[in-house]
Chains A and B, each alone.
Chain A
Amino acid sequence: EVTETSKKSIVTFSEIHHFLLSDTIITETQKRISNAFDVFDHESNKTVDVREIGTIIRSLGCFPSEADLHDIIAELEEEEPTGFVRYEKFLPTMTKILLERKFRPITEDLLLQAFEVLDQQKKGHLEPEELTKYLTQEGEPFTQEEMDEMLSAAVDPDKNVILYKDFVSMMTFDDTR
């Protein structure tokens, strides 16, 4: 009895329970996780470097923050951290994350609103320095490399500003390909 959840943002326990009992869902989910894991399992021994965990989780459609990742990794590491995460540990954790729909996607609208907030003077665009200041100093700061990479895609080469509306549409299009 899966209840209509289109208007609610909370998933009830019975819904989760129902999912968990459904073999097909479990197997499909597990196979997705396994595939994503394998891409980073260079030695084909069901382990991945702990530094790739963030990439794997994100590539499965989740939008965790750095702090969220930190917590997950702490859970996944061995008693004596080896720098590697084993599949046997990763699978149940990741399955739970996916089934519970944690770290839900950030929509195009939400992203656009975020840029609009930063654009205090409502210019319709952002100066590279403005954006850099926010993203490298606030929140979970970008590294210089991350910042440079984003600017290379975001800055309009003629006007030398970030037309964030266009940027957001372009990026979301790229992402869904």
Chain B
Amino acid sequence: MGCGTSIAVENQTHPSETAIKAAILIQRWYRRYVAHLEMRRRYTWNIFQSIEYAGEQDQLQLSSFFSFMLDNFTHMNGNGPDLISHLLDSVVDPLTEEVRQLKYEQIVVPESYCGPRLSFPLSVTDTNALLSAFKEEQTLHGKYVLQLLYETKKFLKQMPNIIYLSTSYAKEITICGDLHGRLDDLLLIFYKNGLPSAENPYIFNGDFVDRGKKSTEIIIILFAFLLLYPDHMHLNRGNHEDHIMNLRYGFTREVMQKYKTHGREMLQLLQDVFSLLPLATVIDNKVLIVHGGISDKIDLDFLSTVERHKVKSALRLPKRSVDHLNVHANIRSSSRQSGRSRLDSPCSSGRTSRASRRRKKHITKQGSCSSSSSSSSSSSSVCSPRVSSRNTSRRPPPSPSLPSPTDVLQVPFLDSFVSLEPPEPPRDELERQQVVDILWSDPKNQSGCSPNSFRGGGCYFGPDVTQALLQKHGLCLLIRSHECKQEGYELCHNGQVITIFSASNYYEEGSNRGAYVKLGPELVPRFFQYQVSRSTRKLTLHQRVCVAEGSALRALKEKLYAHRSDLMAAFQQYDIDNTGRISTSEWAQVVESVLRLDLPWRTLRPRLARLGADGNVEYESCFEDISPGEPIPPVTPNLAETLYRYRTDLEIIFNIIDKDHSGQISIEEFRQTWKLFSSHLGVAVNDQTIDDMARSIDFNKDGSIDFNEFLEAFRVVHKLVIKEQQQG
């Protein structure tokens, strides 16, 4: 290759044969380099998605934990914190509408406040002021937020469930997908596509809040435009417009942090506002727009009669009544038996032989669903609580007086089952199902309709289901959101379904683009993509991949850490001679079965664990980069791991206990809650340990615990990140 001396006269326009060969070699090499990066980008994506969906399934677990609390409430002799009433009491509002309006008007805004001052009815001045203020990172005063929410609620009450629009009055309608608190994306859309107006109508298809840090700003802007242009601005409800989801995914926290005085009242108003958001939009009687998707049970005519405001949350909480508690106690014994028989069913496989009650099952993504026990944060096999009714063929709903074991809902939670009698009458149940299906379903490529076990709610619907529904109502297209797509949008079901997702860099900088779609009178969709960038300098492909990959791998390592004991126990089973090493196959098998994330573990292995000289995996090296932060002294490593794994749940529960959202709970409340939670987890912690822990957490010895500090103590630390920070 490349003997320069043998090249005679080199003509500029006719490169020599060697030069051509050199070019081919470089091209071959470079394409392989890019493919390697593409592979890394793709599995990074898989990691983010798997972890995200695994997290969403914990919703089910939390819901069943609340049911468990209800079960055990009577055993607490009223000494425990009144968690149930915190949760279940809907907004008990002693104020009438006029009194409430007056109350807000009377809130005094200090002179020193230099943010926007809204006046109702809103005008373009107000919306412009809001946009400028938020670009400057200002916060809207609580008074105006309350007034805005209140007006929005009044407005939404008169809206139907399904809104029918026409393109004949405007050139094109713009449809945006999930924003998830990403204000930059919303502002970028407005910049590229113009603000909402009579000539420029918009539909926002749900999931405005949670995850991102500017959910409050987003809903303020969206609601303001809604009130300003009621005929040209339309909002569909998403599955995150749900107060229980908000507890988990950050919106509640954001509101409480930004609005210490009025936050609680805002959240109460938001509960109503969210449940009053319309469920669907139809354009020209041809295009259906919903947040999640459809199911084989969806009927638009029925859907339009549903009392949508009743479905405050997709997570069903049992009604609180004495009768119900009694019935519960009776059912519990019978259903636990049937629960156990399910666990022993022949389908179980891949058990780790621990002496504990934990039993595991591997379920494929196809959703061949059977019930199983699950560990939190990693389960990929928790079933929708409606699995019993779905798997049987079209049986009528059971009569409440004779609940047979198969019809009682078996809600798996950790190592046991909690029974949950469907508390609502059949009609309400059907209505709820329709709403949940609309908000939670995902399209898939196989035919049919099956429970969405990945998410724990809604369905997977196939092209035949889409075809049937579109035909039934004379429609030609379904536009939905709900799933992050690398290019911001995706078509499926032979072009009959469009997924549109508007939060760019959703998982991490460089992970994906955002997009919006425009429809004119000919109803041909036009897509527009964008990507918000944190830095002004354009990153190379390699840099983008590395940033996203680093983030995904860190998240994955945290998962490994959170299950360290289980993983080590399983590794050691293969390592009979105690060499500290097992084969790659064995390593991959263990990790897959313990974490239950469907990922290409063999491809990921080089990034997670080291090989020894003999080519086998040194399994302890998985945990090297991660260590706990400063642990609180009386806490054992095992407990630390448990607390780390369940910290999100604990946070939610603390948030509920903390009635006035002060960030503090009493030691007694903490103790009772922890006792309850840990007894269910099967973590043996005696009273003395809890007392010691509580006392040591109370840093300023005033009898109350700042639980944010408490949770901080159990955060894990990435050693490499620390090192970089120290060197940088």
Contact = CB atoms under 8 A, between A and B. Distances in A.
Interface of A: 27-28, 31-32, 35-36, 38-40, 43-45, 54-59, 62-66, 106, 110-111, 113-118, 120, 122, 134-135, 138-142, 146, 149-150, 152-153, 171, 174-175
Interface in B23-72: 23-36, 38-39, 42-43, 46
B365 interface: yes
A52 B538 CA distance: 26
Given A63-B32, A142-B27, A39 B39 contact: yes
* Chain B contact surface mostly: helix
Interface stretch (B13-21, B99-107, B379-387): B13-21
B10 A120 contact: yes
B38 A55 contact: yes
B129 interface: no
Contacts of B602: 31-32, 35
Nearest 8 CB-CB pairings of A with B:
A58-B35, A139-B24, A59-B39, A117-B22, A114-B22, A117-B2, A139-B23, A35-B600
A44 B366 contact: yes
Nearest to B35: A58
A138 B19 contact: yes
B683 to A, nearest CB: 35
Given A31-B602, A43-B444, A135-B27, A153 B540 contact: yes
A153 B540 CA distance: 6
A38 B43 CA distance: 10
A45 B35 contact: no
B446 interface: yes
A27 to B, nearest CB: 8
Count chain A CB atoms within 10 A of each CB in B26, B446, B602 and give the residue with the most.
B26
22 contacts: A31-B602, A35-B600, A40-B42, A44-B365, A54-B35, A55-B35, A58-B31, A58-B32, A59-B39, A63-B28, A106-B28, A106-B29, A114-B21, A117-B18, A117-B19, A118-B22, A118-B23, A120-B7, A134-B19, A135-B23, A135-B26, A153-B540
Contacts of B42: 39-40
Given A153-B541, A171-B33, A111 B364 contact: no
A134 B2 contact: no
Given A39-B46, A39-B600, A111 B29 contact: yes
Contacts of A40: 42
B34 A110 contact: no
Contacts of A55: 35, 38-39
B23 A63 contact: no
A55 B538 CA distance: 24
Contacts of B7: 120
Contact of B26 (A28, A32, A115, A152): A115
B28 A59 contact: no
A135 B26 CA distance: 8
Interface in B599-624: 600-603
Contacts, number: 138
* Chain A contact surface mostly: helix
Count chain A CB atoms within 10 A of each CB in B4, B33, B365, B445 and give the residue with the most.
B33
A35 B606 CA distance: 13
A58 B602 CA distance: 16
Interface in B348-364: 364
B27 A59 contact: no
A64 B28 contact: yes
A82 to B, nearest CB: 13
A140 B446 CA distance: 38
Contact of B2 (A28, A39, A114): A114
Nearest to B585: A31
Contacts of A56: 35, 39
Contacts of B35: 54-59
Contacts of B30: 142, 146, 150
A36 B600 contact: yes
A149 B541 contact: yes
Contact of A39 (B10, B33, B603): B603
Nearest to B46: A39
Nearest to B545: A174
A122 B4 CA distance: 10
Nearest to B29: A106
Given A111-B26, A116-B4, 9 more contacts: A36-B603, A45-B445, A56-B39, A58-B32, A117-B19, A134-B26, A141-B27, A152-B541, A175-B33
A168 B4 CA distance: 20
A9 B457 CA distance: 57
A106 B35 CA distance: 15
B86 to A, nearest CB: 41
B576 interface: no
Contacts of B473: none
Contacts of B584: 28
Contacts of B34: 146, 149
Contact of B542 (A135, A139, A153): A153
Contacts of A66: 27, 31
B202 to A, nearest CB: 30
A56 B540 CA distance: 22
Contacts of A35: 600-603
A149 B25 CA distance: 17
B322 interface: no
B540 A152 contact: yes
Contacts of B10: 120
Nearest to B18: A117
A89 B2 CA distance: 39
A153 B31 CA distance: 14
B25 A62 contact: no
Given A58-B36, A59-B38, A38 B600 contact: yes
Nearest to A43: B445
Contacts of B540: 149, 152-153
B8 interface: no
A118 B19 contact: yes
A65 B600 contact: no
B600 A138 contact: no
B95 interface: no
Nearest to B3: A117
B92 interface: no
A106 B25 contact: yes
A58 B36 CA distance: 7
A110 B1 CA distance: 8
A79 to B, nearest CB: 22
Contacts of B46: 39
Contacts of B27: 65-66, 135, 139-142
B26 A62 contact: no
Contacts of A114: 1-2, 21-23, 25-26, 29
Nearest to B16: A117
Contacts of B23: 114, 118, 134-135, 138-139
B4 to A, nearest CB: 7
Nearest to B31: A58
B44 to A, nearest CB: 10
